[in-house]
Amino acid sequence: MMRQMPVSWGNFSAPFLDEVSAHLRGKRVLEVFAGNGLLAKGLTERGVDIRSTSLFSGIDGHDQGMHFPVEKIEASDAVDRYGPWADALLMSWPPANEAAAKCVVRWGKDRDVIFIGEMTRPELGFAGLGGCGSDLLFANTSVHHRFLSYVGRGFLDVAVSLRMIE
C-alpha cells in the first residue's frame, strides 16, 4: 500500500519548525490561510499556542484530510475577531490576490507577520513574480527576520517575518 504524503505548498522540515517555534515561544498565534492545518500541527507539537483559520480553497489539501482543527472564516474577518488575542500573525502560501495585504493592514504596524511562500522580487522582472500575496502586500511591508532553516522549493520561496512600513 502506497502511503500518501501530507499536502502542503510549504516545506515544513523539523529544523524549520524548531526555528519558528523558538521565534514564537510565549506568543499566541493567529494563522490565516491555514488549509489543512499541517503547519499548525507541527508548531503545536512544539508548544506554540495557535488558532488556525481558512476558507478551504480547492488547492490546500483539506479534501485529503485535516491535520489540525481549522475554523472556516475569511482571513481579514479572522484578524478582526482574533487579532486582539494574538501576538503574531502567520500565513503560509496566501493566495495571489489582495487578501493577505488586507490582513496585514488590519493587523497593524509593529506586529509580527510570519510569511511563508513566494515573495515577489521586482528587480527580476517577470521572472520575479511570486505566486503568493500581491504587489500591495510586498510594497507595504519589509523583512524583519529571515528563517534561515527554511529550504524553499524555488528561488522565490521564503520564510520571513514581515512588518508594515510607515
Q: Would residue 8 count as lying in a domain?
A: no
Question: Residue 3: pLDDT above 90?
Answer: no
Q: Taking a C-beta distance cutoff of 8 angstroms, is the pair 119, 138 a contact?
A: yes
Structural domain boundaries, residue 98: 14-164
Confidence of residue 90 (pLDDT cuts 50, 70, 90): very high
End-to-end CA distance of the chain: 54
Q: Give SS3 for 16.
A: helix
- For 26-41, what is each residue's pLDDT tens digit? 999 999 999 999 999 9
Q: Would residue 34 count as lying in a domain?
A: yes
- For 108-156, what is each residue's pLDDT tens digit? 999 999 999 999 988 998 888 888 999 899 999 999 999 999 999 899 9
Q: Would residue 55 count as lying in a domain?
A: yes
Q: Taking a C-beta distance cutoff of 8 angstroms, is the pair 33, 70 a contact?
A: no
Tell how strand 141-146 and strand 112-118 pair up: unpaired
How does the average pLDDT of the chain come out, rounded? 91
Residue 67 vs residue 109, higher pLDDT: 109
Q: Would residue 9 count as lying in a domain?
A: no
Q: Would residue 117 count as lying in a domain?
A: yes
The count of residues in the chain is: 166
- The cell for 137 is 502586500
Is the overall model pTM greater than 0.75, yes or no? Answer: yes
Q: Would residue 33 count as lying in a domain?
A: yes
Q: How many domains does the chain have?
A: 1
Calculate the CA 128 to chain-centre distance. Answer: 20
Q: For the domain that residue 135 is a member of, what is the CATH number?
A: 3.40.50.150
**Angstrom distance (rounded) from CA 50 to CA 42:** 11
